[in-house]
């Protein structure tokens, strides 16, 4: 006999569509952005010797925010000379005194958090809620954490003493401009080093605004120097003979160039590079919780995150259910003005990055993956891209192997934990991973076998200054944060 059909009514989905629209909730605080910024060298703002400036364009609406000084080799040399001179006295300063400066910087960041959050959103395109609730608190937390370590370095490696390295060259990316600055500067100063920092050319404003905080904190001249520019400026920072160490966060391609250029030199090097993280969902996972973690893992900061969960590996028997839940969740995400507090996904950082995302998404379509994008209206001006899912993705597809650095998720399936591990590790990157299951033993087993520097369990994108962060393979080497990050800025004797 044929099986009886269920008389239970099918579950109905409550869809409001566009019956009710969110009222706009724009952030109104001023960002106090100067029309022109010079270089910050030896405790003051100066004009570049090149006499050249470039425009900082807001990805929100393509409007000019400010003119930024273009540093040449002579400017970089002046910054290193200032850092080397300041190092002589800064390294001798008692750790408790260095810690006081770091505490002041942290408190000043807190005092001006709203202003800096607006500037970060205008310059980089991320939603104001993320700048306000994540970037600024975490940047201040890193200065607080390292301020606490400054007078306790003798306890970092029992039986060994820490000796600062000297003038440190630091190059940071455009996805978390202020937070990456804090990750780099705080441990360097806590351990007695001085700094020459180059921010990304598309997001230099908050770094230059940060220089005013250094002045208000009374930091001695030359301890931190900020030079701005593009690739040529970065190369001058990396290759300067006075640099004792280079700390770089950015793309794997540029990281390889830097490592090659420093080969054979005495300079120390740490690299935090790209990633293609696997976010692994087992059939015993809490699926609604996993959906929220998946959305946060890939759409946070428009996917401009090196440790983003860009590859979703789902156990085969729950793949259809989870994909349907994800599609429903995507329909609720709001793409639009990053200054609006209702916005979930803001602007893509630059026109060039938007073009790269579009190219890789087209490759996924061309290679036969199934694309899903929710209906959403994108602003007429600015650089925007809708949240995107690809199902039916093969391991050989470009969208499964290349770092997209955008709001694009590739969904693959697996049957056994062994297959999940093999697929997750089948990448030249090794920065992060996520595991979703209700079995603690399975979490520990997966974490021990995944080739990733960070493995999150039943969560994603959880950071703390006391927890070291870094990768394996082509995701770089060295750690930032925690005791391990401090050790990378000192010599043990």
**Quick check: helix, strand or coil at residue 464?**
coil
Tell me how far the alpha carbon of residue 464 is from its chain's centroid.
14
* pLDDT at position 360: 98
Phi/psi of residue 350, each to 5°? Answer: -155, 165
Tell me how far the alpha carbon of residue 157 is from its chain's centroid.
29
How would DSSP label each residue in 226-272?
E---SHHHHHHHHH-TT-SEEEEES-HHHHHHHHHHHTTSS-EEEEE
Sequence-separated (6 or more) residues with CB below 8 Å from residue 428:
252, 473, 474
Q: Which H helix or E strand runs over 45?
A: strand 44-46
| Residue 150 contacts residue 96 (beta carbons within 8 Å) | yes
Q: Considering the candidates 306, 307, 403, 480, report the single residue annotated as catalytic.
A: 306
Catalytic, 307? Answer no
| Residue 431 contacts residue 329 (beta carbons within 8 Å) | no
Q: Considering the candidates 120, 272, 403, 480, report the single residue annotated as catalytic.
A: 272
How would DSSP label each residue in 161-192?
-EEE--EEEEE--SSSHHHHHHHHHHHHHHTT
What span, in angstroms and rounded, lies between the C-alpha atoms of 333 and 295? Answer: 9
What's the Cα-to-Cα distance from 154 to each of 39, 110, 137, rounded to whole Å? Answer: 35, 29, 28
* pLDDT at position 16: 58
What span, in angstroms and rounded, lies between the C-alpha atoms of 431 and 209? Answer: 30
What's the Cα-to-Cα distance from 201 to each of 56, 124, 172, 380, rounded to whole Å? Answer: 8, 11, 10, 25
Give me the residue label for tokens 């209906």.
Answer: 375
* pLDDT at position 3: 43
Phi/psi of residue 486, each to 5°? Answer: -65, -40
How would DSSP label each residue in 49-80?
TT--EEEEE-TTTS-EEEEEE---HHHHHHHH
| Residue 336 contacts residue 364 (beta carbons within 8 Å) | no
What ranges do the domains of the chain cover? 36-272+472-492, 278-457
> What residues pair up with 57 in beta bridges, in sequence order?
64
Catalytic, 306? Answer yes
Give me the residue label for tokens 């602007």.
Answer: 347
Tokens at 474, concatenated? 């082509």
Residues, the chain, total? Answer: 493
Ramachandran class of 192: left when φ > 0, alpha when ψ lies in -120 to 50, beta otherwise:
left
| Residue 421 contacts residue 446 (beta carbons within 8 Å) | yes
Q: Is the pTM of this model over 0.75?
A: yes
Tokens at 340, concatenated? 């609006």
Fold of 278-457: Aldehyde Dehydrogenase; Chain A, domain 2 (3.40.309)
Burial (Cβ within 10 Å: 0-12, 13-18, ≥19) of residue 418: exposed
| Residue 369 contacts residue 393 (beta carbons within 8 Å) | yes
First and final CA of the chain: distance in angstroms? 82
pLDDT tens sequence for the chain (493 residues): 444 443 445 445 666 556 677 888 999 999 999 999 999 999 999 999 999 999 999 999 999 999 999 999 999 999 999 999 999 999 999 999 999 999 999 999 999 999 999 999 999 999 999 999 999 999 999 999 999 999 999 999 999 999 999 999 999 999 999 999 999 999 999 999 999 999 999 999 999 999 999 999 999 999 999 999 999 999 999 999 999 999 999 999 999 999 999 998 999 999 999 999 999 999 999 999 999 999 999 999 999 999 999 999 999 999 999 999 999 999 999 999 999 999 999 999 999 999 999 999 999 999 999 999 999 899 999 999 999 999 999 999 999 999 999 999 999 999 999 999 999 999 999 999 999 999 999 999 999 999 999 999 999 999 999 999 999 999 999 999 999 999 999 999 9
How would DSSP label each residue in 375-386?
--PPPSSS----
Which CATH class for the 36-272+472-492 domain? Answer: alpha beta
What span, in angstroms and rounded, lies between the C-alpha atoms of 199 and 359? Answer: 26
What span, in angstroms and rounded, lies between the C-alpha atoms of 308 and 305? Answer: 5
* pLDDT at position 23: 86
Q: Which among 40, 52, 47 is positioned nearest to 82, based on CA atoms?
A: 40
């Amino acid at each position: 006999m044929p099986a009886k059909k269920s008389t239970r009514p099918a579950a109905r989905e409550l869809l409001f569509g566009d019956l009710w629209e969110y009222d706009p909730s724009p952030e109104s605080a001023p960002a106090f952005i100067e029309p022109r910024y010079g270089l910050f060298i030896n405790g003051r703002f100066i004009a570049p010797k090149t006499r050249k400036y470039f425009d900082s364009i807001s990805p929100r609406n393509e409007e000019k925010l400010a003119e930024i000084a273009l540093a040449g080799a002579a400017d970089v040399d002046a910054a290193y000379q200032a850092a080397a001179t300041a190092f002589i006295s800064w390294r001798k300063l008692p750790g408790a005194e260095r810690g006081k400066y770091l505490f002041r910087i942290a408190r000043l960041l807190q005092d001006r958090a709203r202003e800096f959050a607006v500037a970060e959103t205008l310059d980089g395109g991320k939603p104001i809620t993320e700048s306000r609730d994540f970037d600024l608190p975490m940047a201040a937390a890193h200065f607080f954490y390292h301020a606490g370590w400054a007078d306790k370095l003798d306890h970092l490696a029992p039986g060994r003493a820490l000796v600062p390295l000297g003038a440190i060259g630091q190059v940071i990316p455009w996805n978390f401009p202020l937070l990456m600055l804090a990750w780099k500067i705080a441990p360097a100063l806590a351990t007695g080093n001085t700094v020459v920092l180059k921010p990304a050319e598309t997001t230099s404003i908050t770094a230059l605004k940060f220089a005013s905080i250094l002045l208000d904190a009374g930091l001695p001249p030359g301890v931190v120097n900020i030079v701005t520019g593009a690739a040529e400026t970065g190369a001058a920072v990396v290759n300067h003979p006075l640099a004792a160490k280079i700390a770089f966060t950015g793309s794997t391609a540029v990281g390889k160039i830097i490592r090659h250029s420093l080969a054979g030199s005495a300079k120390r090097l740490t690299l935090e590079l790209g990633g293609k993280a696997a976010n692994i969902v087992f059939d015993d996972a809490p699926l609604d919780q996993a959906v929220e973690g998946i959305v946060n893992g890939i759409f946070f900061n428009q996917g401009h995150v090196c440790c983003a969960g860009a590859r979703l590996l789902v156990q085969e028997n729950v793949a259809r259910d989870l994909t349907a839940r994800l599609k429903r969740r995507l329909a609720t995400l709001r793409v639009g003005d990053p200054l609006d507090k209702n916005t979930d996904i803001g602007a893509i950082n630059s026109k060039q990055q938007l073009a790269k995302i579009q190219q890789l998404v087209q490759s996924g379509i061309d290679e036969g993956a199934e694309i899903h994008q929710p209906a959403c209206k994108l602003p007429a001006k600015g650089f925007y891209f809708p949240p995107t899912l690809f199902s039916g993705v093969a391991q050989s597809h470009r969208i499964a192997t290349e770092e997209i650095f955008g709001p694009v998720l590739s969904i693959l399936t697996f049957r056994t934990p062994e297959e999940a591990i093999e697929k997750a590790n089948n990448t030249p990157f090794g920065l992060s991973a996520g595991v979703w299951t209700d079995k603690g033993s399975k979490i520990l087993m997966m974490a021990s076998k995944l080739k990733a520097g960070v493995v999150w369990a039943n969560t994603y994108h959880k950071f703390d200054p006391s927890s070291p962060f870094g990768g394996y393979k082509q995701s770089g080497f060295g750690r930032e944060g925690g005791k391990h990050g401090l050790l990378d800025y000192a010599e043990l004797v």
